[in-house]
Amino acid sequence: MDTHRTPQTLDAYAEKLVCCTVRQLINWGTFPESDREDLEQELRLAILTRLPQFDPGKAKLTTFVARVVENRVKDLLRHRQAEMRAVSREGRSLGDAVETNDGAEPFGNMLTDADRTRRFGQSPLSDEERACLLVDLSRVLDTLAGELRQLCEELKTRTVTQIAAERKVQRLTVYQRVWRIRKLFRRASLGDYLKKG
């Protein structure tokens, strides 16, 4: 990225960071899928407006861009939390009638399947799909070396930070192993199960 002039587009690193960050926010359920383009635009704008403040003597450009994105995400999350705490926000029962173009309808009927699944902890997979997932997951776990297999077991009940402390290694070391596991899961198309529902 050329810092001597204000660029109109972002370099590959910044663009990838924006897309990955927004995907995480949506996957965590923090923001709905419909906000994807707006969130990406917010982060791009933050980078482009702060770029003139970049000082190569203080940090690498990638570090600067990462901090700008991180700070903007924190601002967006704070704003979102403030909206959720607003006194004027109206609570509503799922049985309350809501006027629609087709007449009155219970509010609960307006929830999407994804909302219902997330709120009630239900799986969007059918019984057959869950059985296939278990078989596919077992198949991939059986291919893992002992260390990676053990890490999968530990991650069921502990955080990366806890595991790193117990093993007396840096968190980055544990994360690198998690990334290797995720890569194997992606190769086995296990991510397809997450796209359902």
Map out the domains of the chain as residue ranges. Answer: 12-85, 124-195
Q: DSSP E strands: which ranges in the chain?
A: 97-100, 103-106
The whole-model pTM stands at: 0.43
In this structure, the chain runs to a length of 197
The span from the CA of 185 to the CA of 175, in Å, is: 15
The span from the CA of 39 to the CA of 46, in Å, is: 11
Determine phi and psi for 25, rounding to 5 degrees. -60, -40
Which pLDDT tens digits describe the chain residue by residue (197 residues)?
544 444 556 788 889 999 989 998 888 777 888 889 999 999 999 999 999 998 999 888 888 999 999 999 998 888 887 766 654 455 667 677 777 777 787 777 777 666 666 566 555 666 677 777 778 888 888 888 888 888 888 888 888 899 999 999 998 999 999 898 888 888 887 777 666 54
User: Which CATH number fits the domain 124-195, given the four candidates 3.40.50, 3.30.60, 1.10.10, 3.60.21?
Assistant: 1.10.10
Picking from 12, 35, 9, the residue whose alpha carbon sits closest to that of residue 22 is: 35
Compute CA distances 18 → 11, 15, 25, 40, 66, whole Å.
11, 5, 11, 6, 9
